[in-house]
Structures are given as structure tokens and as C-alpha cells.
Amino acid sequence: MNNFEQLISGDKPVLVDFYATWCGPCKMMHPILEELKQSMGDKLTIIKIDVDEAQELAAQFGVRAVPTLAIFKQGNLVWKEAGVHSAHQLQLAVEQFL
């Protein structure tokens, strides 16, 4: 099992930020994800995946635009949307899977 599969296989929701270093909107997501992490604490794990370094992984999950945010629970993709989202929008999405 690779490291990514281990990270997403737990009972706790995992928010994955598929991003690219050259992407302006992706840079806007960083402080939003920090805010989300502070408000949700240990209820959520957040990981960032650079699509240029992990092209196979991005393709596996159908990432066609960046940023794409995805929520995994117990190894399953349960939610995915492209674009910039507010911390509040993301928290509402995550809370469905707590």
C-alpha cells in the first residue's frame, strides 16, 4: 500500500488539496485551508498534492483543474469539487462525513 492510500484510509475525513505551484487560485487556498484546520482541529486531516509531481494520482481521481479539493473517508472518495472555496463551505462539506 502506498503512502497516499495509508493517509486516506482512516475513519477521519481527509481533505486533499490537488494544487500546482504555478496556479494563482491554488495560492489563495493556502490561508483558507489554514483557517479550516484551526476551526476543525483534529476532526480533519488536510494534505496537499502537487499535481505536477503526482500526475498519476491526479489522473486516478480525475483532477482536470486546479485547485481541486477532495474529501476521502476510509479510502473512498466521498466529495470532490474544483475551484476556490471558503473555509465555511469546506467545513460544511467535511461535516457531512464526520
- Which residue out of 8, 14, 26, 51 is catalytically annotated? 26
Burial track 30-59 (b if 16+ CB lie within 10 A, e otherwise):
eebbeebeeebeeebbbeebbbeeeeebbe
Of 23, 46, 82, 84, the active-site residue reads 23
Rounded to whole angstroms, the Cα distance separating 19 from 79 reads 16
Active site residue 47: no
d(CA 64, CA 82): 8
Query: Is 55 known to be catalytic?
Result: no
Catalytic residue annotation? 23, 26
